[in-house]
Structure 1
Amino acid sequence: MIFGDDPQSRAVIDIAARLFAAFGHDGTSLQGIAEAAGQSLAWVQQRFGDKHDLYLVVIEHAGRAERAVVEDALSSLPAAGPEEFAAVMYGLSERYLEFCLANPHIPALWIHRWLGDAADIPDLEGSHSVPLINTTRDALRSAADAGLIDDQVDMGLMVRTLIWSVYGFLHGETTAEADRSVSADPRARRRLLAHHRQLLDRMLRLPGA
């Protein structure tokens, strides 16, 4: 069930998402979420259940938002030719980066998962991130089958490479200056997008590569 139709619930979900992103599921308490949201623990429990249940709601909301961006970016496929497909991929790269810059808690949630957070909640990736990766992978495979791009590329790893680079850009080593955040540095953003474009051009042999 998706919660969040009323302002109080949306506020709890937003605060929970940011606390889970900052401290992980395992490092966040339901009491702390309730206090940060200005609600009683009893109200949060009545509305969402326990911390496990609220975490699943947060992941579901994050997954829906991420899916909407990717599916919209791919909505013009199949492409009429290689130039049109290249434009779709460049657009997807840029829109996904902008989405993550605007919602840095979403990459942070998944990075915590990679580090073993919420290990007692199995297969979140299989329910949320993997299907979205597979959707993009299948779009690349269809373009390869149509002769628009190189068919000798591991399309699944191609998609994951783009994701890893965005996550690392936001939460690991970056091209930003040491005293500036990534989101505040347009030069760093332009460099990453140029790198993505070069990666797509050369790996997929897009027009102009």
Structure 2
Amino acid sequence: MIPADDPQSRAVIDIAARLFAAFGHDGTSLQAIAEAAGQDLRWVQQRFGDKHDLYLAVIDHAGRAERALVEDVLSALPAAGPEEFAAVMYELSERYMEFCLDNPQIPALWMHRWLGDAADLPDLEQIYSIPLINLTRDAMRSAARAGLIDDQVDLSLLLRTLIWSVYGFLHGEAIAEAEHSISADPGARQRLLAHHRQLLDRMLRLPGA
């Protein structure tokens, strides 16, 4: 974990995240990261170790940020009723989407891994991504047992569907020409949020569905 009062190291983490997101772990050199950060390669090695170590620091920083967001939203549970639980689910959907849109390097890191990047560093999903999905799934299962939502939904797949749609949205942004970018539409985020809300409403049989 990089201390908050270490701005040089924090800057290297941020630049490394952007380069790993753009070119993958396998396509990025430690020298390129040092040059982009305006640091001497030896200093980067002394502070972080080799490229694998720096990549792990980047993933850990991203994973902590994601977990903080999810835990903050879920802290409102258990809900007193279906309306309150629906509000938590809407907030989670909105804040996670905004988090990914504001930090596109984080979804890009995971998408590279889906394509086999950093294959010699296994189990990162089991350390960071899957526990967050399971944490949210378990909260939803508690709501299902309490009769607040439909108990016949595959909650793990529902959560993955929401994640995949956000990642697909961002990937489309990354490859779109400027004039065709969905971000040029001021209602693009609202449309995706409305789609997520409708999906949650109908799949979980939330109030108003």
- TM-score band by shorter chain is over 0.9
Corresponding residue number in structure 1 for 2:159: 159
Instruction: Name the aligned partner's letter for residue 135 of structure 2.
Output: T
Deviation at 1:73, TM superposition (A): 1.1
Residue 33 of structure 1 corresponds to: 33
Measure how far apart 1:89 and its partner are. 0.4
Counterpart in 1 of 2:204?
A: 204
Residues 1:184 and 1:69: Cα distance change in structure 2 (over 3 Å): farther
Give the letter aligned to residue 101 of structure 1: L
Match of 1:13, SS state, is helix
CA distance in structure 2 between the partners assigned to 1:73 and 1:67 by the alignment: 10
* CA separation of 1:180 and 1:158: change in aligned 2, threshold 3 A: same
Task: Find the aligned partners of 1:102 and 1:182 in 2 and give their Cα distance.
Answer: 15
State how far apart, in whole Å, the 2-side matches of 1:177 and 1:202 are: 34
Measure how far apart 1:185 and its partner are. Answer: 3.5
Q: Distance in 2 between matches of 1:6 and 1:196?
A: 38
Partners of 2:73 and 2:184 in 1: CA distance: 24
- Correspondence for 1:45: 45
Residues 2, 10 of structure 2: 8 Å contact kept: no
Query: RMSD across aligned C-alpha pairs, in angstroms?
Result: 1.7
* Partner SS for 1:179: helix
Distance 2:105 2:121 in 1: 19
Query: Would the alpha carbon gap of residues 137 and 49 (structure 1) be closer, same or farther in structure 2, given more than 3 Å must change?
Result: same
| 2:108 aligned partner | 108
Report the TM-score, using the length of structure 1 for normalisation: 0.95
* Equivalent AA in structure 2 for residue 90 of structure 1: Y
Q: Match for 2:151: what amino acid?
A: D
Contact 1:133 1:159 in 2 (8 A): yes
Tell whether 2:113 aligns with 1:118. no
Q: Is the Cα–Cα contact under 8 Å of residues 82 and 149 in structure 1 kept in the other structure?
A: yes
8 Å contact 1:140–1:155 — kept in the other structure?
Answer: yes
Aligned residues: 208
For residue 189 of structure 1, report the CA deviation from its aligned partner. Answer: 0.6
TM score, norm. by length of structure 2: 0.95
Does residue 65 (structure 1) correspond to residue 52 (structure 2)? The answer is no
- Determine what percentage of the aligned residue pairs are the same residue: 84
How far 1:182 moved relative to its partner?
4.1
2:2/2:9 contact within 8 Å kept = no
**Cα deviations by residue, 1:81-134 (Å, 9 ceiling, x for unpaired):** 000000100111100011011100000000000000000001000000110010
CA distance in 1, matches of 2:158, 2:170: 19
Quick check: 1:24–1:109 contact (8 Å CA) kept in 2?
A: yes
Q: State whether residues 173 and 182 of structure 2, in contact with CA within 8 Å, keep that contact through their aligned partners in structure 1.
A: no
Q: Which amino acid aligns with 2:63?
A: G
Query: Once the 2 structures are TM-superposed, how far is the Cα of residue 12 of structure 1 from its aligned partner?
Result: 0.5
Q: CA 1:178–1:201 in 2, change beyond 3 Å: closer, same or farther?
A: farther
Code of the residue aligned with 1:73 in structure 2: it is V
Could you tell me which residue of structure 1 aligns to residue 20 of structure 2? 20
Superposed displacement of residue 186, structure 1: 2.9
Letter of the 1:120 partner, please give it. Answer: D
Structure 1: state its 5+ residue gaps: none
In structure 2, the residue matched to 1:98 is 98
